[in-house]
Chain A
């Protein structure tokens, strides 16, 4: 029985993102981190492993630099790591899903944890798409998962608050922010992780023919500068501002 956690390396949310030549300038990103929601997926994957639900493999698809993120995951207790080396920046949803689904099959995992959306794509397509490909039950917006005998119980957000749901293997959980503390590696963990070997493969090694991206990125641009602020005197202006928030700003 194997549990897989999908980790994506993204620019740290505090990092400045520069655009050059119509594309995000990857080389100028000062700091790379594990995508924030994936950290919660990792924490719960570790808890499932500790509760005896299976061995834990961390999977990523990304360039060479993403290996460091896998080593960090090993330092907190991941048993094995699979790195599919590829540049994901121009991939469409079908391509990345077919690679990761193949990677999951390669590891023999039937319980998958991932983030609800990555901090670079801001999409939320990958988890549910993979669940469909591998025919696994899909639970999104998850903030907790527990093993209960042969099945799993998860807490997910619903329109009226939260709901507790249960699913059996094969299943996939896409994580929202959870209230749990994230664990930090200790010295022993870091030393052990250095000795662990990352299995490194290509999409071709996994037998994936991903074809061409069907979504063509035309350009990346920095968001337009904000117009200078508008100031109004007196309480009568509240109505005007609410109208502007709706019609100019589109935020309510």
Chain B
């Protein structure tokens, strides 16, 4: 079986998730070709172990994201099983490629087997779906659900200079506002409670949040005690209900009203100096330590990833 991977790029290079796409593809067996839109990351892709060929797509249309024109150029090279990342751009591009080559697409897959059986989560994580896919088809894979392939490969890089008419023109780039992500939207939330001692100490939570792209939340005690912590950050019965993949509670006791807003988080980490704090009852991973000791180490360990 042929496998075509749509490289996920980051700046001028390759995003590490591309190695995971190759890792998943290798477990299926087959000839792996990687398509690099705009040629970005072609050299990085060529050394991923298991890749047979890299196609560096150089057309003018690749200077800004337009899934319509990108997919027009990419569809003829998208053979066999087509695999992309389930990032927002990966999903959009994957869906357009699927439509152009006339095959179905299944998004955000977390498990895949050689007989084209895939698993994914539906209904906002409340249900796991197992389905069988035809060949050919398009799938997007969830980041970090698959083992990355290692380096050491040496695939040939073929340069193709095709372009297509661009219909989405970018007029202005607007840098991220200083404002933090809303806790209800975030995949990762780190929240502080009264145990943070002082609102200025939330800067330590912000620093950890910046490393992993998390939103910062708070308990009601923190919101009520300190004017600097707005109600929009409050998680719980009278605040926001959050459903992230990872929730980190720091200096939060774990009152039932707080749990009401975060207990459905996929994974919960608690950092609290009191070994009997109720938050440990719902935590997947509990760390009995003060935040003063734990947060600097946490930041350092996460930065290493």
Name A's B-contacting residues (CB within 8 A).
Answer: 11, 13, 16-17, 19, 24, 92-94, 97, 116-117, 119-133, 136-141, 153, 155, 157-168, 171, 174, 177, 213-223, 226-227, 229-235, 237-239, 241-242, 244-246, 249-252
Contact = CB atoms under 8 A, between A and B. Distances in A.
Interface residues of B, number: 81
A93 B301 CA distance: 41
A129 B280 contact: no
A250 B144 contact: yes
Contacts of A121: 122
Nearest to B129: A220
Contact of B107 (A123, A166, A221): A123
B104 A120 contact: no
A217 B246 contact: no
Nearest to A219: B130
A215 B118 CA distance: 10
A96 B172 CA distance: 34
B96 A129 contact: yes
Contacts, number: 254
A245 B294 contact: no
A229 B130 contact: no
Nearest to B11: A159
Interface of B: 10, 65-68, 71, 88-89, 91-96, 98-100, 102-108, 117, 120-134, 137, 144-145, 167-177, 185, 188, 212, 245-246, 266-269, 275, 280-289, 293-294, 297-298, 301-302, 305
B99 A129 contact: yes
A24 B129 CA distance: 10
A125 B170 contact: no
A131 B168 CA distance: 12
A232 B10 CA distance: 36
Contact of B71 (A132, A221, A235): A132
A166 B171 contact: yes
B175 A160 contact: yes
A226 B284 contact: yes
Nearest to A249: B267
A17 B154 CA distance: 48
B266 A251 contact: yes
A138 B69 CA distance: 10
Given A128-B67, A131-B96, A252-B302, A165 B133 contact: no
Which 5 A-B pairs give the minimum distances between C-beta atoms? Answer: A137-B167, A132-B99, A161-B176, A128-B95, A231-B286
A232 B71 contact: no
A153 B167 CA distance: 12
